[in-house]
């Protein structure tokens, strides 16, 4: 089978590999589409927190058809259409995954969309529902709001009855965030972001601030967000796409009774797989109800994965880019 391989960190090569064989409780899936995520950049570069031993196939999600099952598999059967969540290995024509990590997908969902709905939507959903305990009517500020996790968060927060403020760095991204449910958009390229972001959030929340902030950019954006949070607000730390991991001044946490909460969604996949699976089905229900819809900016052949990764690296992606085997 064809696979993208990392043999040394920083380089991706296309290779023919032997087809994997499912063991007990495992499933072999013919991959039709694989979503590209920001963490893939770090995994390939060798800078991610969880790194597989070299050589390895990267890729954290895919969608396709169950080709074969190993012993003791009861949750899926050959022919089922599934979305797969995995630590690495999805950038290949075939993949072996634990049955619990293979999510049955609705008939109306294409493989491309199913791959796009994977890690980004799971991350956004866990951040809003599990970590932030979002309530209808609350105001959610989403940073990096036109990216994979960001746009998913805008759609899901809106679907759950929240008011959504999106923070983005271009007019094009602002338009997309608005079209996907953001009631207000903040430009993160303004000169005095530290004050401007708080002023804008306060202006549209009657000086209350944002009840929930989903923060995935880090650096100056994180610092500004911490000043724009409401009393008893919750800030979920999702990532540091800008490259700077911020330090938190504990005084902010104390004086406003706020919670700064971490999220590593793959831990839920591995430690609480039943809950992870149930959350996946809830997302598919939102999709079937027409409340969320992944925005796939472009698809690339597996051979062109470097182009897809470059688009993510440059912060150019609106929604998701997806690799396809067709």
Ligand X SMILES: NC(=O)c1ccc[n+]([C@@H]2O[C@H](COP(=O)([O-])OP(=O)(O)OC[C@H]3O[C@@H](n4cnc5c(N)ncnc54)[C@H](OP(=O)(O)O)[C@@H]3O)[C@@H](O)[C@H]2O)c1
Q: Enumerate binding residues for ligand X (CB under 6 A).
A: 37-39, 119-120, 123, 144, 146-150, 168-169, 173, 188, 216-217, 238-243, 263-265, 312, 315, 317
Residue 123 Cβ vs ligand X, minimum distance, rounded to whole Å: 4
* Torsion region of 128: left, alpha or beta (phi above 0 gives left; psi -120 to 50 gives alpha): alpha
Residue 100 Cβ vs ligand X, minimum distance, rounded to whole Å: 18
φ and ψ of 166, to 5 deg: -110, 135
Q: What is the 3-state secondary structure (H, E, C) of 15-47?
A: EECCCCCCCCCEEEEEEEEEEECHHHHHHHHCC
Residue 36 vs 73, nearer CB to ligand X? 36
Residue 129 Cβ vs ligand X, minimum distance, rounded to whole Å: 14
Residue 94 vs 121, nearer CB to ligand X? 121
Distance CA 149, CA 214 (A): 9
Q: Per DSSP, which regions of the chain are E strands?
A: 2-5, 13-16, 26-36, 61-69, 81-85, 94-98, 102-104, 139-143, 163-168, 184-187, 210-215, 229-237, 259-262, 296-301, 320-324
Residue 318 Cβ vs ligand X, minimum distance, rounded to whole Å: 8
Residue 127 Cβ vs ligand X, minimum distance, rounded to whole Å: 8
Residue partners of 212: CB distance under 8 A and separation at least 6? 128, 132, 134, 138, 139, 140, 141, 157, 162, 233, 234, 235, 236
Q: How many residues does the chain have?
A: 326
Residue 26 vs 223, nearer CB to ligand X? 223
Residue 94 vs 123, nearer CB to ligand X? 123
Q: Is 10 exposed, middle or buried (CB count within 10 Å of its CB: 0-12, 13-18, 19+)?
A: exposed
Residue 25 vs 315, nearer CB to ligand X? 315
Residue 258 Cβ vs ligand X, minimum distance, rounded to whole Å: 19
Distance CA 95, CA 79 (A): 15
Residue 66 vs 300, nearer CB to ligand X? 300
Residue 134 Cβ vs ligand X, minimum distance, rounded to whole Å: 17
Residue 30 Cβ vs ligand X, minimum distance, rounded to whole Å: 25
Residue 240 vs 287, nearer CB to ligand X? 240
* Cα dihedral sign, 133-136-138-142: positive
* Cβ atoms of 294 and 121 closer than 8 Å: yes
Rg of the chain on CA atoms, in Å: 20
Residue 240 vs 302, nearer CB to ligand X? 240
């Amino acid at each position: 089978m064809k696979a993208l391989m990392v043999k040394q960190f920083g380089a991706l090569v296309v290779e023919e590999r032997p087809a994997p064989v499912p063991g007990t409780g495992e499933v072999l899936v013919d991959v039709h589409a694989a979503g590209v995520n920001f963490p893939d950049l770090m995994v390939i570069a060798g800078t991610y927190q969880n790194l597989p031993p070299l050589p390895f196939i990267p890729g954290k999600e895919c969608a396709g058809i169950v080709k074969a099952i190993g012993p003791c598999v009861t949750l899926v059967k050959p022919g089922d259409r599934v979305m797969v969540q995995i630590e690495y290995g999805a950038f290949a024509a075939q993949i072996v995954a634990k049955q619990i990590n293979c999510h049955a997908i609705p008939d109306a969902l294409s493989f491309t969309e199913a791959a796009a709905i994977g890690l980004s939507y799971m991350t956004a959903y866990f951040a809003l529902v599990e970590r932030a305990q979002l309530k209808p009517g609350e105001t959610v500020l989403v940073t990096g709001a036109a990216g994979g996790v960001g746009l998913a968060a805008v759609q899901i927060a809106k679907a759950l009855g929240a008011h959504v403020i999106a923070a983005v760095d271009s007019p094009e991204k602002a338009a997309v965030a608005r079209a996907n449910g953001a009631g207000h958009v903040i430009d993160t390229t303004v000169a005095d972001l530290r004050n401007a972001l708080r002023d804008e959030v306060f202006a549209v929340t009657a000086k209350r601030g944002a009840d929930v902030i989903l923060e995935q950019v880090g650096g100056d954006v994180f610092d500004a967000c911490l000043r724009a949070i409401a009393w008893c607000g919750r800030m979920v730390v999702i990532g540091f796409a800008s490259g700077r991991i911020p330090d938190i001044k504990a005084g902010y946490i104390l004086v406003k009774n706020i919670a700064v909460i971490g999220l590593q969604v793959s831990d839920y996949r591995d430690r609480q797989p039943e809950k992870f699976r149930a959350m996946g089905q809830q997302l598919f229900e939102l999709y079937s109800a027409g409340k969320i819809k992944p925005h796939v900016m472009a698809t690339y052949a597996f051979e062109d994965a470097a182009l897809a990764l470059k688009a993510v690296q440059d912060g150019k992606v609106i929604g998701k880019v997806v690799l396809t085997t067709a």
